[in-house]
Structure 1
Amino acid sequence: MTAGDGRPLQRFRWWQLPGRALFRLDEVYAVDIRHWQNQSSGEVTADLYRADKQIAVSRLPATFPVDGGAIQVAMSGSGIKRCHFVADNGHERQLSPDRASAEGRRARLATNHPLTSRLLAVLSVTFLIFGVALLILQVAEPISQIPPIAESIGVFTSPVRLPLWLNVAVGIGAVAGSFERALRLRYHWLLDAVGT
């Protein structure tokens, strides 16, 4: 982690939706993550602002010490998986996404249209489960054909044979499901790691 240079926090613009995340803690602190902009160097960084002035920069995953605790930030392959304030007493709470950000728009959808939000959440998990199951079946078959494994336990033949177009559609659905879950800062090591 390095000290910030005091630059002011830029307002979130609509064209930054795919590559920027902005979260706030009690309107005092803000965490700005430009995850697509930083990909060229192979490192994603987060900037910490206090009263809209940059006070620290860190590579992800990051832990920023703040008054009363720390802000923890981490990414998955599809987006932010953690942006929480952890108080000194161990109590945790998620930072609030900026209303203009993709995460903020997803949070507003959950507030304004809870039924639609739940349906999207169920669909994203369903696509990820199907994607993981299909991947396991497709990987198990060639692995079982390795001679020592085939001699030991036999050759596994996948009971599922999907046409290419359906295989691609399930893959796209799994990636979309993983992105949807990232907008809600939901992460499961198996579902979301495989989905991206």
Structure 2
Amino acid sequence: MSVGQWWAARRVKPGDGRPLQRFRWWQMPVRSLFSIQLTSSDGGVGTFAVDVRHWARLDDSKVRAHLFIDERHEAESKVPASFPVDGGRIAVTMSNFGVRRCHYIPAQGTPQQLSPDPASAEGRRARLDADHPVLSRTIGSVSILMLVIGIGLNLLQVAEPISQIPPIAESLGTFESPIHLPLWLNLALGAGAVLASMERALRLRYTPLLDMAGN
């Protein structure tokens, strides 16, 4: 076990046994719900669900993941979370735009992503991918393109005033951006990058560009 996994395991607190609440459509912006069926060492099959409430960012910025076993609250942890389960662990991490990783990691074998609840935003995006794969790939490609263009152009423009700070200018020289966009276009590109980041987060397709778009 790595140091990070050890600290994550220490954050796990016992649950209170409350039942798992059904996912409601209006919770899509503020909640993620994933599940997986696992077989225990005695041959029994249990349903393990991870419930993440994003609205906690608006409270104390301490997002927590809740583990439910057969729809009963078993444990909770601040994220990044690492819940010990029979045969391995369930790992949960976040990005600026949603769940970055929600995987069952067995002691031996290949990690497996938990399945999103069909009613959740992640579940609806997964269903679009299954029902309309060509459209899904097109949306994914456009999202990546918007991220690269939006962040790249903004970085070029930000680099110019930063390079004019005296200590930087003296050591590295100044940089003149070849591109100067109007304010409305900068705002549109920023909004496009945020939407693209949200789309990538719904697919749990994390790249460092996602957090760059959120800063």
**TM-score, scaled to structure 1:** 0.95
List, as ranges, runs of 4+ consecutive aligned residues in structure 1 with deviation greater than 3 Å. none
Matches within 5 A, 1:92-103: 92-103=111-122
Task: Give the residue type in structure 2 aligned to 1:119.
Answer: T
* Alignment pair present for 1:52 and 2:71: yes
CA distance in 2, matches of 1:153, 1:77: 32
* Alignment pair present for 1:4 and 2:24: no
Task: Give the residue type in structure 2 aligned to 1:46.
Answer: A
CA shift, 1:90, in A, is 4.7
Q: 1:15 aligns with which of 26, 31, 36?
A: 26
Q: Is the 8 A contact 2:23 2:119 kept in 1?
A: yes
Q: Deviations over 1:37-85 (max 9, x none)?
A: 4530221001100000000010011000111111000111111111011
Aligned residues: 195
Q: Is the 8 A contact 1:22 1:30 kept in 2?
A: yes
**Aligned twin of 1:192:** 210
* Alignment pair present for 1:153 and 2:172: yes
Q: 1:132 aligns with which of 130, 148, 151?
A: 151
CA distance in 2, matches of 1:10, 1:192: 30
CA distance in 1, matches of 2:155, 2:132: 35
CA distance in 2, matches of 1:148, 1:18: 43
CA distance in 2, matches of 1:19, 1:148: 43
* Alignment pair present for 1:65 and 2:84: yes
Matches within 5 A, 1:108-127: 108-127=127-146
CA distance in 2, matches of 1:6, 1:33: 17
Structure 1 SS opposite 2:158:
helix
CA distance in 2, matches of 1:186, 1:126: 14
CA shift, 1:154, in A, is 2.4
* Alignment pair present for 1:181 and 2:192: no
Q: Is the 8 A contact 1:109 1:117 kept in 2?
A: yes
Structure 2 SS opposite 1:156:
coil
Structure 2 SS opposite 1:186:
coil
Q: Which runs of 5+ in 1 are unaligned?
A: none
Structure 2 SS opposite 1:41:
coil
Q: Is the 8 A contact 2:143 2:199 kept in 1?
A: yes
Structure 1 SS opposite 2:55:
coil
CA shift, 1:2, in A, is 0.7
**TM-score, scaled to structure 2:** 0.87
Q: Which runs of 5+ in 2 are unaligned?
A: 1-11, 38-45
Q: Deviations over 1:111-150 (max 9, x none)?
A: 0001111111011111110122123212211121122332
CA distance in 1, matches of 2:186, 2:23: 37
Q: 1:74 aligns with which of 90, 93, 97?
A: 93
CA shift, 1:182, in A, is 0.6
Q: 1:104 aligns with which of 119, 123, 127?
A: 123
Q: 1:32 aligns with which of 39, 51, 54?
A: 51
CA shift, 1:93, in A, is 1.2
For the aligned residue pairs, the C-alpha RMSD in angstroms reads: 1.2
Identity among equivalent pairs (%): 56
